[in-house]
A and B are shown apart, each in its own frame.
Chain A
Amino acid sequence: SQQGEEDPQALSIQEGENATMNCSYKTSINNLQWYRQNSGRGLVHLILIRSNEREKHSGRLRVTLDTSKKSSSLLITASRAADTASYFCATDAEDSSYKLIFGSGTRLLVRP
């Protein structure tokens, strides 16, 4: 069954605003990753947070992880039109370390 569910499914904001996307998962994990997918392209890794970490930053990205609630959030600050993409969270599976389980994704539109 699908591990991650993202919320919202779609998000439209003005350039310069912050964008927050949430991800919930069902089972215990070792780590959680966020990926970006531009239209018609492959996925690009953004950030990985391990289960013993609570927060991680990378440039304009901030990721939090709450293992007690089985949820994570991705915050993009000062958004740009180039941030327009789909964003996916992914976790390792409970039954195997050799597969990533992806969420359903959030489609982000940043209006210029």
Chain B
Amino acid sequence: DTAVSQTPKYLVTQMGNDKSIKCEQNLGHDTMYWYKQDSKKFLKIMFSYNNKELIINETVPNRFSPKSPDKAHLNLHINSLELGDSAVYFCASSQDWVGSEAFFGQGTRLTVV
């Protein structure tokens, strides 16, 4: 069983569209994250959730809205997609705070055309 799974793996869409990426973890972790990896492989935190509550919003545009219906899920909805949103988005989870190892999903490669 995959510990952290995100769907879809690839997403190609036109500018202006709205899209969602889903993430689920079956590890029983309390904390979940969304990271963005740009073309230079630089990873940047976007959001952190702990027990379904938003802890970190790292100055991400309002077009990005995370939703955590329960501890095991953290979905990412993006409105009005822009070319600059093209990147690989990773979901991750950890038992609690960053003092424990994080488990990453396989990533969603988003291409906005």
Binding site for B on A (CB under 8 A): 2, 30-31, 33, 35, 37, 40-45, 48, 86, 88, 90, 92-93, 96-102, 104-105, 107
A43 touches B58 (CB 8 A): no
Interface on B for A, CB 8 Å cutoff?
A: 4, 31, 33, 35, 40-45, 48, 50, 55-56, 58, 90, 92, 97-107
Cβ–Cβ contact B50 & A98, under 8 A? yes
A105-B101 in contact (CB<8A): no
In Å, the complex CA distance between A100 and B34 comes to 11
B3 closest partner in A (C-beta): A42
| Chain B at the A interface: SS class | strand
- A102 to B106, alpha carbons, bound, how many Å? 17
Shortest distance between the CB of A34 and any CB in chain B (Å)? 10
Residue in B31, B45, B90, B100 whose beta carbon sits within 8 Å of that of A43 in the complex? B90
* Contacts known (A88-B43, A105-B41); A98 close to B104, Cβ less than 8 A: no
Q: Which chain B residue has the least Cβ–Cβ distance from A45? A: B101
B43 near A99 with CB under 8 A, answer no
Q: Across the interface, name the chain A residue whose C-beta is closest to B90.
A: A42
Inter-chain contacts of B33 with A (CB < 8 A): 99-100
